[in-house]
Structure 1
Amino acid sequence: MGGLRCVDGSYLTVTPVACTDSVGTPYEITLELRRDGAPCGTVGERCGWLLARLARGVSRAREAQEQGEAGKWPDPDDRFPGDEGGSELFSFRYRARSGAVTGGELRCQLRTIPIWLPAQGEWRVTRRAYVEAWGSSGVGMRAVLTSSELAAFVHGLVDEVEHCLGGRDSG
Structure 2
Amino acid sequence: MPADAGTTSLVVGSPVGALELVADRDALVAVRFDAEGPVDDGAPRVHPVLAAARRQLAEYFAGERTGFDLPLRPDGTDFRRRVWGELALVPWGTTTTYGALAARLGLPPGASRAVGAANGANPLPVLLPCHRVVGSDGTLTGYAGGLQRKAFLLHLEGVATEADQGSLFEP
Q: Which TM-score band applies after superposition, normalised by the shorter structure?
A: under 0.3
Q: Which structure is higher in RCO with an 8 Å CA cutoff and minimum separation 6?
A: 1
TM-score, normalisation: structure 1:
0.25
Query: Greater helix percent: which structure?
Result: 2
Query: Greater strand percent: which structure?
Result: 1
TM-score, normalisation: structure 2:
0.25
